[in-house]
Amino acid sequence: SSIEAGVDASSTHFPYPTISIPPPLAEFDFRVAVRFDAQETKTTAEGVEEAELAEGVRGSWSGSLGSGAVIAGGHDLDMTTLKDKSLHEIVTAFKLRTSDGEPAVLEMDTRGLLCGPTDVLDGIAHRSESEARIDPRRYSYRVTVNLSTTDERYVEKVRGVLWVGSGIWDRDELVIEYEVLQRDDIDYVADMLIVSIELAEYNLYESGRIEVDQCVRSFLFIGLF
């Protein structure tokens, strides 16, 4: 069959098949919850084009770095396209304040993909109070995140660290849980991408979830190179 032929072709061109590459280890690190206002503001992150962000007005976070509040930021997502597109790239920018006696401020930038059936995505953003929360297993929201700060207490804690996360979106609230890839494992991520993509695409094809294929391929590359 065409699937088997594709698998055989992938095996033929598999890089260094005799070398065993240690898989990256991901561990839970922190969770962020943010509620947004309808107001939009223009912002420009370093190296990123200006974007319209729906402003985040309140939130909290907690994890291995400590805990605190979300004090500024927002997301770039055109809500009017949710009925028409099953795949959306979302860029967010937040400021996290720590709960230290003398608080530090961490800059958090994320890039990710929200994908799923268009009616489900539209329902996530526009469901009424009387309607039940949409099961997050019906859609996918996956992100990569970068943390930076000028506060010397946290510089070494966030430098050279790669976080990946998954989240839920419900009306005006976003909740993301992040896992950290240990520093020693980051070097192996690029080597594992080809294997991950091929396995994910094959499994999705077998299960009939063809639409998700684009989401998987895009997420595996987004923000990692």
CATH class name, domain 25-186: mainly beta
- Where in the chain is CATH 2.40.160.20? 25-186
Over residues 88-140, the pLDDT tens digits come to 888 888 899 999 999 999 999 988 899 999 999 989 888 888 888 899 999 99
Q: Which residues pair with 178 in a beta bridge?
A: 30, 165
Over residues 31-88, the pLDDT tens digits come to 999 988 765 555 555 555 565 666 667 899 999 999 999 988 777 777 778 888 898 8
Q: Is the pTM of this model over 0.85?
A: no
CA of 159: how far to CAs of 64, 142, 148, 155, 225, in Å?
A: 15, 22, 7, 6, 17
